[in-house]
Amino acid sequence: MTDSVASIALDDDDEPSQGRSLAESYASLSRAASLNAAALQPLLDSVAETVRLSTATWQPQLAALQTDIIPKAQLAAISSLAAAIPRTIVMPSLPPDLTESIRSMAQAVASSQASALAQITAHMPQLPDLSGFQKMLAGTALSPGILEWLRTAHRPGNWSDAVEEQIDAVVELVNDDGIPVAWVPRTATLEELLTASSGNERSLILIARRDEILEDCASALARLEDDSAEFPALPIVQKVLAGCRDGHWEIAAVTAVTIVHGTVEALRWASDRQRAARQHALQTDEGRDRLLEQATRAPLVRFYDEWHAKSGKPRPAHLSRHVVAHDLAPDQVTERNCIVAVMLMASLLRTVYELELGREDTRP
């Protein structure tokens, strides 16, 4: 821009301002100009068309970006910036000798619009480079760490490789003896139970490891304190553990049976003998995605054994919710059964916590 043109752009009493808006500049130019710009109208129309930015092409693109990839807050910022971009530049009547000034101002408008577009681009999130993941899916060997995670992610935390290799013994332990194996007892005790030759030997192991098993139950249940709002019975659960520490195993066991049954009812799981056997039993070929839950459910098969005094069948010696609730006697709260009741309570509640079972979005 020449010096003469620059001087025309300002009134005599105006102070130069770097921040002067385009509209103010046009107003000043109009006040300074007295010539008819009719002859320049075709040129002005051409300039206006050149600097016009239509938002019609931006609106569908911005709408298409409303996905989980870009947060709504970022989209709102982008939309505000886009809305601020001038859509049409209305050119005032100017003298013919201001052609160069008009061209310079048009370039300034284009530069301003380019800056606004750069701000929009800056708000766009950077997507990660997925080329490595694509290669992995195409058959690239997984690292040992990932393979280990995939192998162990769906099994209880107290299971070792040795435990998983003895799945037949695990099935027998939970389905036939009704002894929990998910989260409790600790790995060493669980491996010892799996190598026992009979149910009586397993009962003796439980009694011999009673204090350690109680510690395991307390550790498993401690995680529930992180989400206590989802477990309104947690204070009672903690009193069950306290009762065991004080030697009141029988009272603690009866309370644990009540908590287990209430949890099963809340989960809408089967609690009658026939359906329990079908739905809760653990299979040797159980899928990994169901292994943790099914290993937790399996002791419920024996837990829901039914017995009536007039049935002519022997009274169950193992822990039975039906007998505890309807015909309680000292033979149901033996030292072995009390340990199993507390273990079952801890195992079930910990799995409910880990898998978020019973919540509206996960309830079976």
Radius of gyration of the chain (CA): 38
Check whether residue 155 and residue 113 sit in a common domain.
no
Check whether residue 119 and residue 210 sit in a common domain.
no
Check whether residue 103 and residue 228 sit in a common domain.
no
Confidence check: pLDDT of 314 > 70: yes
Q: How many domains, in total, are found in the chain?
A: 2
Which residue blocks in the chain are alpha helix, DSSP H? 3-8, 22-32, 41-51, 58-64, 72-83, 99-123, 131-137, 144-152, 161-165, 167-175, 187-195, 199-208, 210-222, 234-245, 249-267, 273-280, 288-297, 300-303, 321-326, 335-355
Check whether residue 204 and residue 244 sit in a common domain.
yes
Check whether residue 92 and residue 16 sit in a common domain.
yes
Check whether residue 117 and residue 193 sit in a common domain.
no
φ/ψ (deg, to 5) at 349: -65, -35
Confidence check: pLDDT of 291 > 70: yes
Check whether residue 276 and residue 183 sit in a common domain.
yes
Residues 294/278, Cβ–Cβ less than 8 Å: no
Check whether residue 12 and residue 92 sit in a common domain.
yes
φ/ψ (deg, to 5) at 107: -65, -35
Residue 272 lies in a domain: yes
Which one of 104, 123, 142 terminates a domain? 123
Confidence check: pLDDT of 344 > 70: yes
- With 0-12 / 13-18 / 19 or more C-beta atoms within 10 angstroms meaning exposed / middle / buried, residue 170 is buried
pTM for this model (two decimals) = 0.60
Residues in the chain: 364
Residue 142 lies in a domain: no
pLDDT of residue 210: 98
Q: What share of the chain has pLDDT > 70, as a percent?
A: 62
Residue 192 lies in a domain: yes
Mean pLDDT, the chain, integer: 77
pLDDT of residue 119: 73
Q: Return the HEC string of 129-185.
A: CCHHHHHHHCCCCCCHHHHHHHHHCCCCCCCCHHHHHCHHHHHHHHHCCCCCCCCCC
pLDDT confidence of 103, banded at 50, 70, 90? confident
* Residue scoring higher pLDDT (44 or 81): 81
pLDDT of residue 81: 63
- Per-residue pLDDT of 124-158, as tens digits, reads 666 555 555 454 545 555 556 554 555 556 789 89
Residue 134 lies in a domain: no
- With 0-12 / 13-18 / 19 or more C-beta atoms within 10 angstroms meaning exposed / middle / buried, residue 297 is buried
Least confident interval from 23-32, 51-60, 106-115, 116-125: 51-60
Range of the domain at 291: 150-355
pLDDT confidence of 56, banded at 50, 70, 90? very low
Q: What share of the chain has pLDDT > 90, as a percent?
A: 47
Confidence check: pLDDT of 4 > 60: no
Check whether residue 200 and residue 75 sit in a common domain.
no
Residue 140 lies in a domain: no
Which of 54-58, 67-71, 201-205, 287-291 is predicted most confidently?
Answer: 201-205
Residue 346 lies in a domain: yes
pLDDT confidence of 238, banded at 50, 70, 90? very high
Section 244-262 average pLDDT: 97
Check whether residue 162 and residue 213 sit in a common domain.
yes
Which one of 105, 123, 141 terminates a domain? 123
Residue 71 lies in a domain: yes
Least confident interval from 77-86, 107-116, 155-164: 77-86
Confidence check: pLDDT of 83 > 50: yes
Check whether residue 204 and residue 283 sit in a common domain.
yes
Look up residue 56 and give its two tokens.
Answer: 């019609």
- Per-residue pLDDT of 60-79, as tens digits, reads 555 554 544 456 666 666 66
pLDDT of residue 3: 42
Which one of 68, 88, 123 terminates a domain? 123
Residue 240 lies in a domain: yes
Check whether residue 68 and residue 209 sit in a common domain.
no
pLDDT confidence of 36, banded at 50, 70, 90? very low
